[in-house]
Structure 1
Amino acid sequence: MTGGPAEGLPMAFPAEGLPSRVRIHEVGPRDGLQNEPSVVPVEVKAEFVRRLAGAGLRTVEATSFVHPRWVPQLADAEQLFPAVADLADRAGAEAVRLPVLVPNERGLERALALGAREIAVFGSATESFAKANLNRTVDEALAMFEPVVARAKEAGAGVRGYLSMCFGDPWEGPVPVDRVVGVCRRLLDLGCDELSLGDTIGVATPGHVTALLTALNEAGVPTGRLAVHFHDTYGQALANTLAALRHGVTTVDASAGGLGGCPYARSATGNLATEDLVWMLQGLGIDTGVDLGLLTATSVWMAERLGRPSPSRTVRALAPRAADASRDTTAQDSPASHKEQ
């Protein structure tokens, strides 16, 4: 047993049957900020990415190269990505992966032109959400992704496939497990290196998570190629994450401060907060490489810029300590300390 609340850390009690390390795929700068009612200045976004990296996160999804008409909050991708791209050039374990979302071949061209090394495509397990989000059927969306994935692989870029509505859909209700498995298999067949299973409206429960992961394994999908992406609408995100960890999943998506939702599914509330996830993982003795104090300070800093408190319970509990750390943070990871790209 180590740590304790007085130190701003949970007491650690390792449990059997869990991974020793988890990679957190931080989605706050993209999935979090895309749902903001107003556009966050690009300088603030760049500093947000740098502060997240400074807190020890080594995968930070930076932005999306979607058409500005659809997601105006991320219209500054061409300005943001060069402002943080040097993070990926750091030596060894200090290098930060900076994946970006691309919707089509044009988005891919824009991303590759700026040196992006990892891209993601965003599909749906249901027809209703595919129509709302992409204005296409599931089949049409997969056909659109095929040349995107192929060209990305030819360019040496890694490819992640997001699959939304894996557990429930606001229009269609519960989503059959076999339907999700079928679309997952097709994304892998296209060439995706990793699949992120999205509980877009937060209706999953641990038993459902286990059932889906078991069915994917039975269909030949290795657990090592899966990530989970939970929203906390019904307070189930951490329980669902623990179920996934017990099944062997070692990559978990989360958003600093619990930012985010989905602009095309109004019932989708915030993402699993990265701080809440780190608190649980540290309490289980699972290594993440993340400094919880610096991460919390980063979310306090961003909440101040957004003009509202963070919904993360851990951020709120640690906020007084984090506010002090935020004020004391040096400028070493801010845009002002780096040359213009």
Structure 2
Amino acid sequence: MRLLMLGGTEFVGRAVVEDALARGWDVTVFNRGRNEPPPGAAVLRGDRTAPDGLRALADAGGEWDAVVDAWSWAPSAVRDAARLLAGRAGRYVYVSSRSVYPLPSPPGADEDAPVVEGSPDDEGFDDYARAKRGGELAAVGAFGADRTLLVRAGLILGPYENIGRLPWWLARIAEGGRVLAPGPRDLGLQYIDVRDLAAWTLDAIGKRLAGPYNAVSAPGHATMGELLDACIRTTGSDARLVWTDPERVLGAGIEPWTELPVWLPPGELYDSLHLSNADRALSAGLHCRPVDDTVAATWAWLRTIGGRAPQRADRPSPGLPREKEAQVLDG
């Protein structure tokens, strides 16, 4: 298989490239050159946000069985790349997001649920959900519905994470001592390991799948307690989890999801993000590994880069300030 990866050096893109190379695929990456792709990939340089930024891709010629694009900003960049490649690639895979469904969405919502408005011609980025929907429309507009796979990923964790959610929990627990653990302990989590996302995406290319798929585990794949316990085991920390009721957490002015990554209190937003229907992807072969594997691999990667995870410039750095945590623990 001949694969073109737009990006290919960070988080989802890197996981896709690594998996494709391990399968013996012929992989080309097109990116700005800020980071090096995995060894073995051919490289084309260009900035798709710049005028004439796709020239290297246009001049290179060549054809591919599939293009994978995980772009998260202005949809016009997806539009321009997809139009350029429509006659040179068999399929276009756009790594979208379950954020395209309006919030709140009911528990059990599947791919037929309503989606937000978006435009493939939007040249700005001020709303993540609308940008992802615009990217979907751009891909379908150039390749057609039968040649476009929309991978609507849920919460993504694992090695190379540049959002900082699981890395923050690992770093905090590695420090030890009392750790504010937002309850309830048995609160179910729905997410996907980036390596499972990559593997399923490449399998889907081989199966010639098209259309939207909610690429995330079944609800309750792990619990908040299982995630944090895995962090303790993996780091060998002496951390002591202090389980705290959601009401007390919220009453202290702590922001779910951002200050306490991954966690949401039971309610409408939790239902939207942790109780979606993933049956279509699971029936199409999606396999989700145990939480211990995800945590251990992320910790091993963090240790190879000095323990400090890279952070995307367009996302706020997550985590709970220690003084805010202490106020709750000592209150």
Same fold (TM over 0.5): no
Using CA pairs under 8 Å that are at least 6 residues apart, name the structure with larger relative contact order, 1 or 2: 1
TM-score normalised by the chain length of structure 1: 0.34
TM-score normalised by the chain length of structure 2: 0.35
Higher helix share: 1
Higher strand share: 2
Report which of the two structures shows the higher radius of gyration computed on alpha carbons.
2
